[in-house]
Each structure stands twice: as structure tokens, then as C-alpha cells.
């Protein structure tokens, strides 16, 4: 009897029921209790298109991953940069199609960096096959991989002209069909939170993505932010994607006198599950 009960408890903890399907086994667990485990995490070091990441700005402290952006005038490969940022990913350890991704994050105070675009994100992508097949990109100017942005947090949101000053928290999907032509999902294709609803820097919050064959759901602290069920659109997200945490800048402008640096994004934990088969 005790053995049967133990087996039942193991089965219940290994799988998490979600709307539209069942999430399977826990395959990635990180609590950042010691030095950053580079067998799990690829630490980005070098230019990323809009700025530059340096390995020294990604480290662990007091049980959290610290992703830091600092003011730093320096030249990399002949290009002048005014800040140094940070990013880590699982491109060398784990990429998968379907499952659940969860992290507990405290965002930087992006409202204190209004002079340029500090951009903190939790997302999935797989640019490596595209780069291998097409050079830098197909069509030029980007990786053109399917991309799932669970949260992008910044002050100068692209929609700021319409919505007013940030901070803004946004999640959306990028799917490419027909030789790299991007196709947006039927509405709603993204969520956008602003003002008091977008204060994710004062405390930690749990962000979660559930990606199944018949649905994709984004949540924060258990509340559903976006759910997509369009079958044709979901097929466009095919292929294993790897996981990224980034605290980078999206402009080459120098900080202004009012910008407060350094800014840090803190990550308490990361969990990744497969999808049940």
C-alpha cells in the first residue's frame, strides 16, 4: 500500500495538469544557489545587434542570477558602445518543442532609464538553424526564427507614442511563413500591460509559458495574460526552441544624465518541463 501511494505521489508531482493538455516531466531545474553553472547556461559575450553583452555582467549572488547593465564606454570590433549588458540562454544545453517554462523574476526599474531603451525579457527562440542555412539571416537583418516572447519589459515601448510613457510589459509571438514573411496570429495575438499594471520591478513575480500542440498560454502569478488556440498559427511555431533571459539595451544611444545605472534583473529560479506524450 505504501509503495503504491508513493508511486501515485511521484506521478502527480511529475506531471502538471493545464488547460488543453498535460505538462510532463521536469527536465531543467535551476535555483542559482552556487556559481553560475555554465554547463546549463550559455553566457552571451559580444555584440548582439543593438548593444553588447559581457560575461562579467552575468553572475549569481544571494541565491539569484544577476543580469546587470552598467554604463561603460568601450569599443568592440570597431564599434563604440556606451553600456554593457547581460544575457544567458540554454542554446548549448536544452531546446525543445512543447512543454512549460517558468521563472521567478524581479525586473529592473526601466523607468529610471528613459534616456535609452533598456529591455529585459524572458523568451524562446532558435536562431541557430536559420543562421546556418542562410548566413546572418534570411532576407537580412535578423534571425527570422519562430519566437515566443513571454515578457518584454521596458520604458520606451514601440507603442509608447499611442499609449504614453511606460513601463510596459508585453508578450507576443513571431511566426514566419512563406520564405520568412512574418504572420501575426488572429486577435488577440499579444498582451500589453502599462502603468500600475506593469510594476514588475518592485518585487518578484512568477512568469510561466505553457506550450502544447493545441494551445499556447502565457501567465504571470497564475493569471492568464494571453491564450492562442489557432491551429494554423500554432503549426508555424514548429521546431525546438531554447530559453533566454536577457537584460540588454535596444539602442546604441548613450545614457542621458537622468538615467540611473547600473540596473539589474534578478532571477530566483527557472523550471522547464516537457509536454506529456
Residue with cell 509536454: 275
> Which residues are 245's β-sheet partners?
88, 122
Q: Which of 21-30, 66-75, 95-104, 125-134 has the highest mean pLDDT?
A: 95-104
Answer whether 192's CB lies under 8 Å from 159's CB.
Answer: yes
Nearest residue to 212 (alpha-carbon basis) of 225, 229, 188? 229
**Of residues 61 and 258, more confidently modeled:** 61
**Of the listed ranges 1-5, 75-79, 98-102, the one predicted with least confidence:** 1-5
Query: pLDDT of 10-56, one tens digit each?
Result: 333 334 444 445 789 999 999 999 999 999 999 999 888 678 899 99
Whole-number Å distance between alpha carbons of 195 and 168: 7
Residue with cell 552571451: 44
Kindly indicate whether the domain formed by 2-275 is annotated with CATH number 3.60.21.10: no
Query: pLDDT of 230-248, one tens digit each?
Result: 887 787 787 789 999 999 8
Helix (H, G, I), strand (E, B) or coil at 198: helix
Q: What's the rounded mean pLDDT across residues 75-95? A: 90
Domain boundaries of the chain, sorted by first residue: 2-275
Q: Which three cell numbers stand for residue 180?
A: 520568412
Average pLDDT taken over every residue of the chain: 81
Neighbours of 8 (CB within 10 A): 10
pTM score above 0.75: yes
**Of residues 152 and 190, more confidently modeled:** 152
Q: What's the rounded mean pLDDT across residues 133-141? A: 48
What is the pLDDT, as a whole number, of residue 165? Answer: 64
Whole-number Å distance between alpha carbons of 21 and 94: 22
Amino acid at each position: 500500500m505504501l509503495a503504491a501511494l508513493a508511486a501515485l505521489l511521484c506521478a502527480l508531482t511529475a506531471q502538471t495538469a493545464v488547460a488543453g493538455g498535460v505538462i510532463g516531466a521536469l527536465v531543467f531545474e535551476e535555483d542559482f544557489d552556487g556559481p553560475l553553472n555554465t554547463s546549463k547556461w550559455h553566457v552571451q559575450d559580444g555584440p548582439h545587434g543593438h548593444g553588447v553583452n559581457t560575461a562579467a555582467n552575468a553572475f549569481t549572488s544571494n541565491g539569484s542570477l544577476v543580469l546587470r547593465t552598467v554604463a561603460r564606454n568601450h569599443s568592440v570590433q570597431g564599434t563604440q558602445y556606451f553600456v554593457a549588458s547581460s544575457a544567458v540562454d540554454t542554446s548549448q544545453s536544452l531546446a525543445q518543442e512543447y512543454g512549460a517554462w517558468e521563472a521567478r523574476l524581479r525586473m529592473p526599474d526601466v523607468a529610471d532609464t528613459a534616456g535609452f531603451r533598456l529591455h529585459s525579457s524572458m523568451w524562446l527562440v532558435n536562431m541557430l538553424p536559420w543562421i546556418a542555412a542562410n548566413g546572418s539571416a534570411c532576407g537580412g537583418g535578423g534571425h527570422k526564427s519562430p519566437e515566443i516572447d513571454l515578457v518584454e519589459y521596458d520604458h520606451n515601448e514601440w507603442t509608447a507614442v499611442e499609449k504614453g510613457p511606460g513601463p510596459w510589459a508585453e508578450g507576443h509571438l513571431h511566426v514566419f511563413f512563406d520564405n520568412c514573411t512574418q504572420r501575426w496570429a488572429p486577435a488577440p495575438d499579444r498582451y500589453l500591460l502599462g502603468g500600475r499594471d506593469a510594476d514588475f520591478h518592485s518585487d518578484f513575480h512568477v512568469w510561466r509559458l505553457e506550450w502544447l500542440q493545441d494551445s499556447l498560454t502565457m501567465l504571470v502569478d497564475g493569471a492568464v495574460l494571453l491564450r492562442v488556440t489557432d491551429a494554423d498559427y500554432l503549426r508555424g511555431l514548429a521546431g525546438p526552441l531554447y530559453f533566454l533571459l536577457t537584460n540588454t539595451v535596444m539602442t546604441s544611444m548613450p545614457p542621458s544624465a537622468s538615467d540611473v545605472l547600473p540596473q539589474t534583473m534578478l532571477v530566483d529560479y527557472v523550471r522547464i518541463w516537457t509536454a506529456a506524450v
